[in-house]
Copies of this chain bind each other. A is one copy, B any other.
Amino acid sequence: MKPYAFGVDIGGTTVKIGFFSSNGKFVEHWEIPTRKEDNGSMILPDIASAIAKKMDQYNITIDDIEGVGVGVPGPVLGDGVVSMCVNLGWGKVDVREELTSLLGGVPVEVGNDANVAALGEQWNGGGKGHDNVVMVTLGTGVGGGIILGGKIVAGSNGAAGEIGHMKVRDKETAVCGCGKKGCLEQYASATGVVRLAKLGLTKASAKESPLKNLEEITAKDVFDYAKSGDEYSLSVVDEVGKMLGEAIAHITCVVDPDVVVIGGGVSKAGQILLDAVEKYYAPAAFHACRDVDFKLAVLGNDAGMYGAVRMVLGK
């Protein structure tokens, strides 16, 4: 194997670039802005140019590079083609082909950002040591990634692991960003937790809750007050746990993983979240999968770079 590789995580605001030695350790990592103007046509040239400069700086050539892995915030088909990526202003872009060409022939692998982050956590994070990992990412939305045999499951439409849009409630009047009603994301994302908390604030059970005194409620507030014993906040956390625990039970019936890793901003709540999830997971899960390990993600925002480089180092 060649001595170096790059892992690139393209976000809506910044592109994170990791320069790795082929043993999987960072040599260095940095960020560049994501220039979305002109339908994002400068994003790949900017990345290529940043990588080329870094190679110059270290006095290495493309012969020293095993490859470049890239995570993209949209659906990616198996051949490295992005069919559409609203977040970047992209229509159909053949990321593998274009970036390989910009970089003088370096092999490029491309994956959806949530799937790539899942691969990072499987390889070097909460799922380390396990080949079969389900990752659930609780951020502004709810994303996910399925890793089987150490490889990303991309799906026929690049939509495998889109577990935020699993329908988990029948009677829902609010509409999810995807257009459906009752998606997991409407309850277990940061905004979903806040939404649930606000929905019940007029209930008698919320009368004494310190959440009522806040001008703006955040998901962190809900978990913090739950930790300090506020009954109402605890009931919201319990509801989130039920939605998540039962959805994860659906997932384990399908792929029966070794471990479920929970990440994203909401997962910073820590053990109280895991406890709420496991409370509802166990009775809903198929008996053979009941003892699956739940782990918190550990790589944070670096998971994307790790997963991206793993696509080229783990082939």
Residues of A within 8 A of B (CB): 75, 132, 146, 148, 153-163, 165-167, 178-180, 246-247, 249-258, 283-284, 286-289, 292
Contacts of A289 in B (CB 8 A): 155-157, 159, 162
Listed by A's residue number, 22 A-B pairs whose Cβ atoms lie within 8 Å are: A75-B288, A132-B155, A146-B254, A148-B153, A153-B256, A155-B289, A156-B256, A156-B257, A157-B256, A158-B256, A162-B253, A162-B286, A162-B289, A165-B286, A165-B287, A167-B284, A178-B286, A178-B287, A179-B287, A180-B284, A180-B286, A251-B254
Contacts of A178 in B (CB 8 A): 286-287
Q: How many copies of this chain does the complex contain?
A: 2
What distance in Å separates the Cβ of A306 from its nearest Cβ neighbour in chain B?
Answer: 22
- Are B159's CB and A286's CB within 8 A? yes
- Are B288's CB and A146's CB within 8 A? no
- Are B287's CB and A255's CB within 8 A? no
Contacts of A155 in B (CB 8 A): 132, 255-257, 289
- Are A254's CB and B161's CB within 8 A? yes
Q: How far is the CA of A257 from the CA of B255 in the complex (A)?
A: 13
- Are B162's CB and A256's CB within 8 A? yes
Between A132, A254, A283, the greatest number of chain B beta carbons within 10 A of the residue's beta carbon is seen for A254
Q: How far is the CA of A219 from the CA of B156 in the complex (A)?
A: 33
Q: How far is the CA of A179 from the CA of B283 in the complex (A)?
A: 10
Residue of B132, B148, B166, B284 touching A250 (CB-CB under 8 A): B166
- Are B163's CB and A253's CB within 8 A? yes
What distance in Å separates the Cβ of A173 from its nearest Cβ neighbour in chain B?
Answer: 15
What distance in Å separates the Cβ of A270 from its nearest Cβ neighbour in chain B?
Answer: 25
